Amino acid sequence: MIKPYNLLIVVVISFLLVPINSASQCGTNILLNPSFESPVQPSVGNNLLGTTTYGSWVLTGSTINVIRTDGSPYSGGPDNAQDGSQYVDIVSSAGTVYQDFTISTATPVGFGGYFSSREVGTYVDWTANVEIYSMPSNTLVASSNTRAFTAADGADPAQENWYYIFGNTTLPAGNYRYVANLGDYGNFDNGFVFTNCTLPIVLDFFSIRGVENANILNWKIESASQFSHFEIERSNDGRSILYYRLIMVDIDGRYKYSAILKSGENNKLMITPNPARDYLYINGLTQKGELKIIDMAGKILRKQFINAQSISVHIDFLQTGLYLLQYSDGRQIKTMKFMKM
């Protein structure tokens, strides 16, 4: 459905500074040591054979590495962890990473984690997902969405990307097990179980392209499990420039806005919301480039290669404060400031 909305340019600009749908944000992660930062590895990797414990996690598989890297080149997977400087790496065959937790009263929960791929060798396709089991019966009670990884995910620079996989359910009081399933060439980092929340719709990308006398809008969401419908809003500045945004509506009636796109400025870098709590929508990227999140002291906190014009980037691993978003496509470098709430 397309409907007009009347916003002056000044209102549009100020609207971009308002955080969206704060009611849908989640609370505290009840998993312990969720991102494999402790104990600290003495070198880039460590082979752990069979079933072993690591912090609060139990790791299973023929051979598993816990990789320590903070931007240093690593031939077996991403050069940066999704959060911090350490992550799990499956060397061969399949494996799981699991941790037990307790729910004291019946509550909605959001659960998931981040997955990536090792670099191409004798590649075996694999599928990533997260499952919740009731314990001690070991009964499956909930599953996340899934992602099928192929050899293309292991090709440079795709193996630098982390993918957000998540699900929603309601759990009665009891004991449970969080299980992340990985295959050969799988990487995992930053698991989570949030109570009293339903994870919001996550917009993968939203882009605009001008064709003759028309504007073509393209978008994609990561999950439609709680999704009801889209609405498209259109405005203009009174001089022929058009503005567009999406309204994404959950089945429970809650809604959130996308970034606002402007016709005729396909290549202008835009980030919204700003300030942001959990993720940024980034528009105006070229097809291939490198994205960095940098703190105000100049330290690179996250780096990933991009092969899209618009993406969403999760920033829940950042502390509250001011950061730089830097994008380079090999010809020019664009830098913008954003605030993490």
Determine the 3-state secondary structure of 160 from DSSP: helix
Say if strands 227-236 and 2-4 run parallel, antiparallel, or are unpaired. Answer: parallel
pLDDT reading at 19 higher than 50 = no
The string of DSSP codes covering 16-45 is TTSPP-GGG----B-SSSTT--SSPPSSS-
**Could you give phi then psi for residue 311, rounded to 5 degrees?**
-145, 170
Q: What is the mean pLDDT of residues 70-97?
A: 85
pLDDT higher than 60, residue 338 = yes
| Residue 11 confidence (pLDDT) | 29
92 DSSP β-pair partners: 63
Give the H or E element holding residue 154. Answer: helix 151-154
Map out the domains of the chain with their CATH numbers.
2-25+200-340 (no CATH), 47-195 (2.60.120.260)
In this structure, the strands spanning 310-314 and 279-283 are: antiparallel
Residue 191: band (very low, low, confident or very high) from pLDDT cuts 50, 70, 90: very high
Omega prior to 19 cis, within 30 of 0: no
Better-scored residue on pLDDT, 19 or 132: 132
**Three-class SS of residue 159?**
helix
Q: Is it the case that residue 12 has pLDDT exceeding 60?
A: no
Mean pLDDT of the region 120-135: 88
Token duo for residue 168: 């929603």
Give the chain's mean pLDDT: 77
Q: Tokens 């549009």 — which residue?
A: 12
Rounded to 5°, the CA angle 53-39-64 comes to: 50
